[in-house]
């Protein structure tokens, strides 16, 4: 590859990460760390934009998300982890970028729009929440990120970032900030166990990476299948059937999955039998992660140390970016 990418992504530490995170971005990050310089940010400041009354939740989950990263195989030798609130340059950039964005543009951002509706903010939306996409542009540009592996719902964020990048470079007649490309995972999005489009902890339809075998069993057994598929001998629907969606993604035996689909469509394959297979498949996938998680849980100082070491490295890069930005904006007082 001619151009060396700088990869930057992040997650809000509002809870431990789940299978949706794995499919949506962790899987891509595992590949990208082999090829590029990669930063992975724990977005505690962004998490506070809708959890500001509960800092203890965020504090607790910074460590949990750090544990998740290491448990899935992100390697601190290859990936630089950092904690967002410890990089003051992100806040600085955010203030500068806010001049380049209008309130109406932020209100039109589809992700933010959906969130405003979900949270029933109306006109009482906290200003910090409305402008979090600007802060996200700062997250990406503070390390001059060019590639952002994220779930599909984050596309408007990348678009917003690039608008800011172009407008900054044009306004200050420079080429300081690079544009970023989104890298969307092959699997577009993992539905929740209840069949709704998105897996999320707050919706109670998620399977956490550290879930116990018992928890997985319970969640799979109550999974959404085909409501018309009452008796074993009835023909059943495969499309929109969450158990099959998960098997398609996690079952390494594609032939067997194809055979099961055929049998299910014809009738004669019961939900319980099908779900038992998924429980086995998910256990095989999650058990090494769970074991690694348990080891890391016993050594929280090691995990924090990894996060703090990465933060130190990132600070250094952030300072260089600020040097360029300040110069372009004629703020390089001497």
Least CB distance to ligand TRP at residue 109 (A): 12
Q: Which of 64, 136, 160, 314 binds ligand TRP (CB under 6 A)?
A: 136
202: exposed, middle or buried (Cβ count in 10 Å: 0-12, 13-18, 19+): exposed
The reply to whether 150 sits near ligand TRP by the rule CB under 6 A is: yes
How is residue 246 written in tokens? 């998960």
Provide the H-helix boundaries in the chain. Answer: 19-21, 27-32, 44-48, 55-72, 88-98, 103-108, 110-118, 127-130, 132-141, 155-171, 213-221, 242-250, 254-266, 271-297, 300-328
Angle at 331 between CA 328 and CA 333, to 5 degrees: 125
Q: How far is the CB of 165 from ligand TRP (least distance, A)?
A: 13
CB atoms within 10 A of CB 167: 15
Residue 84 or 225 having the CB closest to ligand TRP: 84
Q: Which of 28, 33, 38, 46 binds ligand TRP (CB under 6 A)?
A: 46
CB closer to ligand TRP out of 140 and 209? 140
Q: Which residues of 133-161 are buried (b: 16+ CB within 10 A; e: fewer)?
A: bbbbbbbbbbbbbbbbbbbeebebbbebb
Tell which positions 24-43 bind ligand TRP, by CB under 6 A: 43
Least distance in Å: CB of 293 to ligand TRP? 20
Q: Which residue of 5, 6, 7, 11 would you call a contact of ligand TRP, by CB under 6 A?
A: 11
Using alpha carbons only, how large is the chain's radius of gyration in Å? 22
CA 32 remoteness from chain centre: 15
Hey, is 70 helix, strand or coil? helix
Task: Determine the distance from the C-alpha atom of residue 263 to the mean position of all C-alpha atoms in its chain, rounded to a whole number.
Answer: 35
Residue in 140, 177, 278, 317 binding ligand TRP, rule: CB under 6 A: 140
- The tokens describing 28, both together, are 């891509």
CB of 9 to ligand TRP, least distance (A): 4
Q: Which is nearer to ligand TRP, 26 or 278 (CB)?
A: 26
Q: Is 277 an interacting residue with respect to ligand TRP (CB under 6 A)?
A: no
Task: Determine if 247 is a binding residue for ligand TRP (CB under 6 A).
Answer: no
Number of residues lying near ligand TRP (CB under 6 A): 13
- Is residue 66 near ligand TRP by the rule CB under 6 A? no
10 binds ligand TRP (CB under 6 A): yes
List residues bridging with 11 in a β-sheet: 42
Q: Which stretch binds ligand TRP (CB under 6 A): 29-37, 51-59, 148-156, 249-257?
A: 148-156
Does the footprint of ligand TRP cover residue 274 (CB under 6 A)? no
Give the three-class secondary structure for 42.
strand
Of 6-14, 226-234, 288-296, 318-326, the segment contacting ligand TRP by CB under 6 A is: 6-14
Q: Which residues bind ligand TRP (CB under 6 A)?
A: 8-12, 43, 46, 136, 139-140, 148, 150, 154
């Amino acid at each position: 590859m001619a151009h060396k990418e700088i990869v930057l992504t992040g997650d809000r530490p509002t809870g431990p990460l789940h299978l949706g995170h794995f499919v949506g971005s962790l899987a891509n990050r595992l590949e990208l760390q082999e090829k590029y310089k990669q930063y992975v940010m724990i977005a505690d400041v962004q998490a506070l934009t809708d959890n500001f009354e509960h800092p203890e939740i965020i504090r607790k989950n910074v460590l949990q998300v750090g544990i998740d990263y290491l448990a899935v195989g992100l390697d601190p030798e290859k990936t630089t982890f950092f904690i967002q609130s410890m990089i003051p340059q992100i806040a600085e950039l955010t203030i500068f970028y806010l001049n380049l964005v209008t309130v109406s543009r932020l209100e039109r951002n589809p992700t933010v729009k959906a969130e405003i509706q979900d949270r029933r903010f109306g006109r009482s939306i906290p200003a910090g929440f409305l402008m979090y996409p600007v802060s996200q542009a700062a997250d990406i540009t503070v390390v001059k990120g060019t590639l952002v592996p994220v779930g599909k719902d984050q596309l408007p964020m990348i678009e917003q970032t690039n608008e800011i990048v172009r407008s900054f470079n044009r306004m200050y007649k420079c080429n300081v900030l690079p544009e970023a490309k989104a890298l969307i995972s092959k699997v577009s999005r993992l539905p929740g166990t209840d069949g709704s489009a998105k897996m999320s902890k707050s919706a109670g339809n998620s399977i956490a990476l550290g879930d116990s075998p018992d928890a997985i069993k319970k969640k799979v057994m109550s999974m959404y299948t085909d409501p018309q598929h009452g008796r074993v001998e009835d023909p059943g629907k495969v499309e929109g059937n969450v158990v099959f969606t998960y098997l398609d993604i996690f079952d390494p035996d594609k032939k067997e999955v194809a055979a099961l689909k055929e049998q299910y469509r014809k009738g004669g394959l019961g939900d319980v039998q099908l779900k038992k297979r998924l429980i086995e498949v998910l256990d095989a996938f999650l058990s090494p992660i769970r074991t690694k998680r348990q080891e890391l849980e016993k050594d929280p100082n090691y995990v924090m140390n990894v996060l703090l070491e990465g933060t130190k490295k990132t600070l250094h890069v952030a300072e260089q970016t600020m040097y360029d930005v300040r110069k372009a904006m004629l703020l390089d007082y001497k």
